[in-house]
Amino acid sequence: MKNISHNFIPFTLLAFVTLFTVISCKRDLDDLEPATFPTTAEVFIDGFAAGLNYGAFGGSKVTAFDVDTEIKYKGTASMKFAVPDAGDPQGAYAGGAYFTSTGRDLTGYDALTFWAKASKAATIDVVGFGNDFGESRFLTVLRDVKVNTNWQKYIIPIPDASKLTQEKGMFFYSEGPENGLGYTFWIDEVTFERLGTLAHPRAAILDGQDQVFVVETGQTLSIGGTKATFNLPTGVDQSVDAAPSYFNFTSSNPSVASVSSAGVVTIVDAGSAVITATLGDQDAAGSMTVTSTGQAVGPQAPAPAPTASADSVISMFSNAYNNVPIDTWNTGWQFSTAELLEIQIAGDDVKRYRNLNFVGIEFASQTINASAMTHFHLDIWTPDATALPAAFKVLLVDFGANSTFGGGDDSSHELTFTSPLLQTGQWVGIDVPLSNFTGLTNRAHLAQLVLSGDLPNVYVDNVYFYKSGAVTTTGPTVAAPTPTRSPADVISIFSDAYTNVAGTDFNPNWGQATVVSQVPIAGNNTLLYSGLNYQGTQLGSNLDASGMTHLHLDVWTNNSSSLNVFLISPGPVETPFALAVPTSGWASVDIPLSSFSPVDLANIIQFKFEGNGDIYLDNIYFYKPGSGGTVPTTAAPTPTFNAANVISIFSDAYTNVAGTDLNPNWGQATVVTQEAIAGNNTLVYTGLNYQGIQLGSNQNVSGMTHLHLDFWTANSTALNVFLISPGPIETPYTLTVPTTGWTSLDIPLSAFAPVDLTNVIQFKFEGNGNVYLDNILFHN
Amino acid sequence: MKLNNLLFTATTISFALFFLYTSCQDDDNAIVKRNWQLVWEDDFNGNAGQSPDATKWAYDIGTGDNGWGTQELQYYTDKPGNVSLDGGGNLAITARSESFGGSGFTSARIKTQGLFDQAYGRFEARLKMPWGPGIWPAFWMLGSNINEVPWPQCGEIDIMEYRGQQPNLIHGSVHGPGYSGGNAITKSFGFENDRFDVDFHLFAIEWGKDYIDYYVDDQLYQRITPDKVTGEWVYDHPFFIILNVAVGGNFVGFPTPQTPFPQTMLVDYVKVYKEAN
């Protein structure tokens, strides 16, 4: 057999001549050299290639990987992977990734190859490369890799090597027990190669299908099913999952739908567009056709905040209350065409139903006992015509003492609502005595709510049962946190801790309905807006805040569903900033002043708040970063959650989950210590790259609503926190850094979907800098 | 066909270089310059879907005897779906996975039998291979006396055979009395970093009274002479040309569920030369 690689010689010479010519005429422009990355091919031959690191996946058996000098394909050593039996307490599977800290230039290769054998015939779930424990933009996955007791060579084609100019993810694997039983497999001679014998490249998006989606402006869709197929030197085709970033996406109509380099399609207007892709110079099979109906017609403002006292309410869905568990807001019953979209309107969560003919809402696994309640309430908004005979119907179903459907003890009743109660384009409160549901003979085991009627588009909010009686609003019982910033760095408007701007009018008459008062809360003077619609503040003198960086304020409300704060300069030029409401306790908010652009920061004359509910405000001041050090001098605020409602991981204030490893060895560079800050034990990450926390036991936090944590950093510019359930399934949440003082954050656990909240096993922090953490806990 | 000429030139240049490096390493590579005169050709120019020139090509139809003697699985047809011009200057012979005439696959086999034959000379075809396990294309010749003198006595010269599961490898062989089937005189030629199914390559023999030289892209890789065959030298009478794509059979094995269908062998041209004085 002859090798015709000599063919390359004339072309190489030609290329060199061309290159020389180009360089010689560009030389006087600049002498910049492009950054170059090593082109090292080897990953594991008889040991780790230089600069190669290993990290086990969360939830895996971290000791599954070892280097074996007894069994090897070639040389002196191979990689051995001991897949655990099902139920192994040290981990459910074997999995991890090999990565370099400096990227490699892999553009000269066309495949990652390796040899493998196993202690028995088995199918390895996934192997691949491109997992860098970060973005993994060029993740390449070969699934269902069959191995047996003979060494065989495996080839993972590189979907488009020209993209891999600085790749860090060299190899990864993940394999669980086979039929519950563990076994061992070996991998050797892992290296990138230029085979030259991979042929007939093909590519696909959406698994090669032409899919059509009816969408609305603002919706985003991710293009999945991105695959690359090559014919191997054995004549058979092999497909790999190629991350979307390998592809170049094109929208036929960017004014209707734009598409990012990561394959995320964003609908920007009404019309049609077709998204297609190329991989290298191959057109990918499959396409996404989007037909946009344009901007959805929906409410601009949230539904009025409920006023019923929380202790006389059983709430199914409202931001104003703690809600009981609901199995589903769309059972998908046969013949139901209803689609459910979870949306937010000015920060308020709303259920939106589209194509509604009828929809089942079910809470059979934890039925509702509304025996002590007197009324049922829900708010609806529809863009559809509501003139008679259009109707909207509400059906309540009680499953009776056996708490299951049927059995002869069920009861139900449906009420029909029509105009003039129903109105188009405005929130309508349906508020009816439960006694009106005459057929509903029991309400101790309510299990279903069914909405139906002639309105295909219905927005739903504030669904709750309540007991009519005095409506009370309770205020905060503790004072807002005392500010810690140096007075030299602060211009204060309203705070007991500083000298405030003189002459300010906190209740100018701008025609508002709001009642303004100042009330002492735990001895601290606090500004109270009752029944807010809008409310101004007239500063005592024009204020130059151009030397400041942030506006700080502390806010407390348990019944507002909408709250904006405005800065105003002459003109008037005013810009709103939306505050998250209702709060859970005092919320300390630090708003970068850039958020208020184009307000003239050198000439601020007024504040304004708009929204609803009852609002407590304190410590309204501008500030700039102080000359303060890089270490917190005050302890994190002590949390005040009822211990019965808390699962604590790290806090002096609660009993923490036993056996938690705050510094598991996941290959990280982070230095972990615990330091006493003002007498309070605090978790310190120094030189963070990433850092795990291995919980002492799997935690079911599905009964919790939020993850709380306090963090402080002077120098971090990137910080994410992840929850992790087995799989591993992990979802990041971005923390705003650097902080100005301690940031207390309550993250809705829904932000971590699709992590299994019934089985949380680990935390992970990723980012940089030095980070102080405290009071890491779940609460409801 | 300008592009092809360019490619051909580039290949020639590169092989000139190749010989600079390797001519002293292998006697098989010794160049014998001969003065070839074109006597027969088909460059397959014409409209897409058109059948090959009936004055030059005949068909084998059906499944032969026991899958053409080697348990092949295809039914050979003369349908344009199996054999026709591609409109781009090539003949396409296409194997399809479809039930026809009791077989699970269709394909085509064309021959110059009764239309053209020749003893001695240069026989060449520029081909791009199909691929996939169980695909077996061939460019070969049989002795024109096959109806009087049964195979293997009539002689068989396989200029190029290829297995779809080894797309970087081709084989050149002779079958004759005492050395046929699995005992044929054969040699393989392979690429380390390339394949025969991604570009066209030129396959040729140069045949004289006492030698048959095998070439890929004008590189000599095998010379078969009477002393190398383990039986009678029967290459002294006219042979006719065959082009086909078989599916399955003793030589190649069965196609697998992973074999992509349809599979096409493209033939840019076939040319036959005689040696001038």
Chain B residue with minimal CA distance to A193? B193
Residue A232, Cβ neighbours under 10 Å: how many?
A: 20
Is the pLDDT at B8 greater than 70? The verdict is: no
Identify the weakest region by mean pLDDT among A234-243, A679-688, B186-195: A679-688
A291 Cβ contact partners less than 8 Å away, ≥ 6 residues apart = A212, A213, A214, A215, A271, A272
pLDDT digits (tens, 9 = 90+) for A102-157: 999 999 999 999 999 999 999 999 999 999 988 999 999 999 999 999 999 999 99
Q: What is the ipTM of this complex?
A: 0.80
Sign of CA dihedral B170, B175, B178, B181: positive
Q: How confident is the model at residue A32 (pLDDT cuts 50, 70, 90)?
A: low
pLDDT value for B53: 96
Chain-wide mean pLDDT for chain B? 88
Question: Under a CB-based contact definition with an 8 Å cutoff, are residues A398 and A404 in contact?
Answer: no
Query: Is B13's Cβ below 8 Å from some Cβ in A?
Result: yes
DSSP assignment of A430-481: EEEEGGG-TT----SSEEEEEEEES-S-EEEEEEEEE--S-------SSPPP
For A423, phi then psi, to 5°, come to -135, 145
Is the pLDDT at B108 greater than 70? The verdict is: yes
Is the pLDDT at A6 greater than 60? The verdict is: no
What gap in Å lies between CA A428 and CA A608, rounded to an integer?
Answer: 28
* Residue A121: C-alpha distances to residues A65, A94, A95, A116, A185 (Å): 19, 17, 19, 11, 10
Kindly state the average pLDDT of the residues B175-204.
94
Which residue of B14, B195, B219 is in closest CB contact with A197?
Answer: B195
What gap in Å lies between CA B60 and CA B58, rounded to an integer?
Answer: 7
What gap in Å lies between CA B38 and CA B275, rounded to an integer?
Answer: 9
* Residue A219: C-alpha distances to residues A293, A295, A343, A751 (Å): 11, 10, 11, 18
Strands of the sheet containing A563-569, edge to edge, are A534-543, A604-611, A563-569, A573-578
| Count, residues in chain B | 277
pLDDT value for A33: 58
In terms of DSSP bridges, do strands A287-292 and A210-215 run parallel, antiparallel, or are they unpaired?
parallel
What gap in Å lies between CA B95 and CA B104, rounded to an integer?
Answer: 11
What gap in Å lies between CA A780 and CA B182, rounded to an integer?
Answer: 79
Is the pLDDT at B23 greater than 80? The verdict is: no
Kindly state the average pLDDT of the residues A332-354.
90
Query: Is B12's Cβ below 8 Å from some Cβ in A?
Result: no
For A16, phi then psi, to 5°, come to -65, -45
pLDDT value for B10: 37
Is residue B98 flagged as an active site residue? no
Query: Is B258's Cβ below 8 Å from some Cβ in A?
Result: yes
Kindly state the average pLDDT of the residues A92-103.
94
Sign of CA dihedral A638, A641, A642, A647: negative
Q: Which of A54-63, A155-164, A396-405 has the highest mean pLDDT?
A: A155-164
pLDDT > 70: percent of chain A = 94
pLDDT value for A626: 65
pLDDT digits (tens, 9 = 90+) for A616-644: 999 999 988 765 566 787 889 999 899 99
Question: Under a CB-based contact definition with an 8 Å cutoff, are residues B115 and B58 in contact?
Answer: yes
Q: How confident is the model at residue B22 (pLDDT cuts 50, 70, 90)?
A: very low
Among candidate residues B7, B260, B202, B195, the one with its CA nearest the CA of residue A199: B195
Residue A699 is encoded by which pair of tokens? Answer: 């935690």
What gap in Å lies between CA A151 and CA A238, rounded to an integer?
Answer: 19
pLDDT digits (tens, 9 = 90+) for A265-278: 999 999 999 999 99
pLDDT digits (tens, 9 = 90+) for A460-485: 999 999 988 644 456 788 888 888 77
Max intra-chain CA distance, chain A: 96
Whether residue A754 has a cis bond before it, omega within 30° of 0: yes
CA distance A79 to chain B (A): 28
Is residue B148 flagged as an active site residue? no
Q: How confident is the model at residue A309 (pLDDT cuts 50, 70, 90)?
A: confident
Q: Looking at beta carbons, which residues of chain B come within 8 Å of A233?
A: 166-168, 195
Sign of CA dihedral A20, A22, A23, A25: positive
The half-sphere exposure of A148 on its side-chain side, counting CA atoms within 13 A, is: 1
Q: How confident is the model at residue A3 (pLDDT cuts 50, 70, 90)?
A: very low
Task: Please name the helix (run of DSSP H) or strand (run of DSSP E) that holds residue A117, with its range, or none.
Answer: strand A111-118
Q: Looking at beta carbons, which residues of chain A come within 8 Å of B132?
A: 231, 235-236
> pTM here?
0.57
* Residue A315: C-alpha distances to residues A241, A309, A454, A463, A464 (Å): 44, 11, 26, 6, 4
In terms of DSSP bridges, do strands A287-292 and A183-193 run parallel, antiparallel, or are they unpaired?
unpaired
Chain-wide mean pLDDT for chain A? 89
Burial A369-392 (b: 16+ CB within 10 A, else e): bbeebebbbbbbbbbbebeeebeb
CA distance A119 to chain B (A): 26
pLDDT > 90: percent of chain B = 79
Chain B residue with minimal CA distance to A237? B258
Which residue of B18, B166, B197 is in closest CB contact with A4?
Answer: B18
A563 Cβ contact partners less than 8 Å away, ≥ 6 residues apart = A532, A555, A557, A578, A579, A581, A609, A610, A611, A612, A613, A615
pLDDT value for A739: 84
CB contact under 8 A, B260 and A237: yes
Kindly state the average pLDDT of the residues A683-708.
92
CA angle A349, A353, A358 (to 5 degrees): 135
Among B72, B124, B161, B206, which one carries the catalytic annotation? B161
Q: Which residue has the higher pLDDT, A32 or A578?
A: A578
Kindly state the average pLDDT of the residues A582-589.
86
Kindly state the average pLDDT of the residues B6-20.
37
CB contact under 8 A, A2 and B221: yes
Q: Which residue has the higher pLDDT, B27 or A77?
A: A77
Identify the weakest region by mean pLDDT among A24-38, A347-361, A415-429: A24-38
Query: Is B164's Cβ below 8 Å from some Cβ in A?
Result: yes
Please enumerate residues of A whose Cβ is less than 8 A from a Cβ of B: 1-7, 9-10, 194-197, 199-200, 231, 233-237
pLDDT value for A650: 94
* Residue B225: C-alpha distances to residues A115, B66, B189, B222 (Å): 42, 32, 18, 10
Kindly state the average pLDDT of the residues A683-695.
91
Residue A588, Cβ neighbours under 10 Å: how many?
A: 22
3-state helix, strand, coil split of chain B in percent (to 5) is 15, 40, 45
pLDDT value for A278: 97
CB contact under 8 A, A197 and B260: no
